[in-house]
Structure 1
Amino acid sequence: MTSSNSLTNKREHLFRRLALLTVITIYLVIIAGGIVRSTGSGMGCPDWPRCFGRWIPPTEASQLPSNYQQIYGAKLKGEIEFNAAKTWIEYINRLVGAFSGLLVFALLITSVSYLKNDKRVFYGSLLSFILIGLNGWLGSRVVAAELAPYLVTLHMLLAILVVFSLLYVMTVSYTGHAEVEQIAGKKSLVTGILLITMVLSVIQVLIGTQVREAIDEVIQRMGYSERHRWIDSLDYRFYVHRSFSLIILAFHLAVIYQLRKFSKGKGLLANLTNVLVVLVVVEILSGVVLAYFAVPAVAQPIHLTLAIVILGVQFTTLMLLNADRISKNQEAHLPHYSKV
């Protein structure tokens, strides 16, 4: 192996590690966003990019102007008494988001080494950078619009697209460096069921954002002291979301059955199938906890994050099901290939 090939391999190894770290960080951003929503901290910083006009948020009301209630009262949704916990929850969410943006930028820079071997990695990284930049800008619009529901939903959709684009880049870069078992026929059937499951799962996530909006409306009427009455006060959106989960479960069972039936050997697909089983069960249990145990704040970000993780596992599985096509496109450049 020449020194040039060795350097290229080191760069690509670094890229794969960085891609994995970036995906994990994006999920941390989603967790942070879920915590912001569950604690009602969305307007903890009523301005953007600063927080109460400061780069470092205040920790007590004495650090704010004496007339801060008049300045920020409308944006604070009636909670005109300064709440340091909510302010710092929102600020930390912004910091994690900014860090993820830096990682995606670093990923774009390191993806330049793939321009000769596989341009999809570079252009996928470029797309990820554009999407996360757009979502960062949209986050500022969410604050400016005082958590307008349609912007919150669009913000979530873009986050899902960022996850998909990063997982695409990571999966393509790992092709040839991990073993993927063969599917004995029926691949088109498994792929079709999986695609339908993904579409239904995205719809379920969007319905979930509407349920969250319904909960916010209930909170405005009842306050946090009446948490035990929130679920009983929800409208049809909650019941659609709950009933739709049964359809989602049925399609997941079909996907899992088909993958286990037609997979040959124990590779990434088998492992992802096992992970998918666990995730779906835990997701359902977290939904039960939310519905029957007075919507505990800790369960809300878990429920949301698990839904996005499940989408990520579905997308990665879909990519690996077609790993033979990816490998064929890389044969001219990679010395080793996955067993597909």
Structure 2
Amino acid sequence: MNRIVRPVSGTLLRRLALASIIANVGIVVTGGAVRLTASGLGCPTWPRCTDDSYVTTPEMGVYGVIEFSNRLLTFAVGLIALATVLAVLAHRPRRRGLLTLAVADFLGIPAQAVIGGITVLTNLNPWVVGLHFLASMAVIAAAYALWRRAGEPDAPTVAVVPSPLRALARVTTGVAVAVLVVGTWVTGSGPHAGDHGAARNGLDPESISQVHADVVFLLIGLSVALIFAFRAVGAARATRAAVVLLAVELGQGLIGFVQYFTHVPAILVGAHMLGSCLVLLAALSVQWSTRERRPVTAPTAPATRVETEAVPVTA
């Protein structure tokens, strides 16, 4: 007997994509908690937790529990991503590009897990730890693109702002990514290594923090320019997205300055990691607001004048 498979609604697909975004942001925050509690080597090997066990043991104490719990969360995030792929396959009508984004989101999870394993096997090498964080950012970007695309009609893309402003938005997004990259260098030079014996990247913390601050100031300046430019062309949706980006940047910058001058307390570092995810999402929102998808309408044929003869109506 043939089984009838009900198509997945666009609403459910968007909810799964949103869940994937939230889950990936969550694993960034919990990964930060692993590092900030010096539990990075709570499970000293990978993929096992110890040479003899895939799970934590009582002898490993709280550090092992924290590290192993974060590993378990990877499976939960992966299941959400897999459910999203299956939802895209069951969605009707089939949408262009959705499957590519869903697969990219799903494959990013094991790739990110492998990089996480390499960080353990290299005793928390700060450059690999930074790559681990950036891999999570890439997965978040794919999940966000899927979420936005799932809410759009299957139609061609139409620009809503002039080409120079779209280029300025792309530059702003690029600078936001640069802020994240340089931020990993700052983290790699700072005190929170994830383990008391982990090495640092050798960069001078004060100098690299200044470089990071300079790139942040550039990002804020570009965001302010976007607000005025979008308002000048009457792009209300893009203006709102740029305002949100600026607000997130200012909040993130405030956390960064306070943590720097208070000797990098762990709680503020955790908040700063969450803020990094929000900066990326806000920058992507600005990028998305510069275009939209509109159905193509057939050109209307010019009206022709038709001469008709009046016909009397008979009872």
State the one-letter code of the partner of 1:123.
Answer: T
Aligned equivalents of 1:294 and 1:38: distance in 2? 14
Measured after TM superposition, the shift of residue 149 of structure 1 is 2.4
Aligned equivalents of 2:242 and 2:212: distance in 1? 24
Indicate the residue corresponding to 1:302 in structure 2. Answer: 271
Distance 1:17 1:217, change over 3 A: closer
Aligned equivalents of 1:217 and 1:102: distance in 2? 30
Larger Rg: 2
Residue pairs, 1:164-203, within 5 angstroms: 164-176=141-153, 183=160, 186-203=161-178
Indicate the residue corresponding to 1:312 in structure 2. Answer: 281
Match of 2:31 among 20, 30, 33: 33
Matched, 1:90 2:67: yes
State the one-letter code of the partner of 1:57.
Answer: T
Distance 1:219 1:124, change over 3 A: closer
Gaps of 5+ in 1: 65-81, 224-232, 333-340
What secondary structure, in the 3-state scheme, does the structure 1 residue paired with 2:264 have? Answer: coil
More helix by percentage = 1
Match of 1:214 among 179, 189, 192: 189
Residue pairs, 1:43-54, within 5 angstroms: 43-52=41-50, 53-54=52-53
Indicate the residue corresponding to 1:78 in structure 2. Answer: none
Aligned equivalents of 1:187 and 1:114: distance in 2? 34
Measured after TM superposition, the shift of residue 116 of structure 1 is 4.7
Indicate the residue corresponding to 2:109 in structure 1. Answer: 132
Say if 1:28 and 1:96, in contact at 8 Å, map to a contact too.
no
State the one-letter code of the partner of 1:17.
Answer: R
Aligned equivalents of 1:42 and 1:20: distance in 2? 28
Say if 1:214 and 1:235, in contact at 8 Å, map to a contact too.
no
Measured after TM superposition, the shift of residue 314 of structure 1 is 1.3
Aligned equivalents of 2:215 and 2:151: distance in 1? 35
Say if 1:132 and 1:162, in contact at 8 Å, map to a contact too.
yes
State the one-letter code of the partner of 1:23.
Answer: I
Indicate the residue corresponding to 1:335 in structure 2. Answer: none
Which shifted more, 210-219 or 304-313?
Answer: 210-219
Query: TM-score when scaled to structure 1?
Result: 0.74
Output one character per residue of 1:200-251: Cα deviation in whole Å (capped at 9) or x when no partner.
Answer: 121121111111111149999999xxxxxxxxx7342122112322112111
Say if 1:197 and 1:248, in contact at 8 Å, map to a contact too.
yes
Distance 1:21 1:193, change over 3 A: same
Measured after TM superposition, the shift of residue 115 of structure 1 is 7.2
Say if 1:34 and 1:305, in contact at 8 Å, map to a contact too.
no
Match of 1:252 among 194, 214, 223: 223
- Equivalenced residue count is 285
Indicate the residue corresponding to 2:12 in structure 1. Answer: 14
* Seq. identity, %: 22
Indicate the residue corresponding to 1:79 in structure 2. Answer: none
Gaps of 5+ in 2: 199-203, 299-315
Output one character per residue of 1:97-129: Cα deviation in whole Å (capped at 9) or x when no partner.
Answer: 221111101111111034753131011111211
Say if 1:34 and 1:301, in contact at 8 Å, map to a contact too.
yes
Aligned equivalents of 1:217 and 1:100: distance in 2? 25
Match of 2:130 among 131, 138, 153: 153
Output one character per residue of 1:301-328: Cα deviation in whole Å (capped at 9) or x when no partner.
Answer: 211221222112211331232213xx34
What secondary structure, in the 3-state scheme, does the structure 1 residue paired with 2:41 have? Answer: coil
Which shifted more, 110-119 or 198-207?
Answer: 110-119
Distance 1:85 1:219, change over 3 A: closer
- Say what the alpha-carbon RMSD is for the aligned residues: 3.1
Say if 2:124 and 2:194, in contact at 8 Å, map to a contact too.
no
Match of 2:252 among 279, 283, 293: 283
Aligned equivalents of 1:220 and 1:29: distance in 2? 19
Measured after TM superposition, the shift of residue 14 of structure 1 is 1.1
Distance 1:104 1:217, change over 3 A: closer
Measured after TM superposition, the shift of residue 271 of structure 1 is 4.5
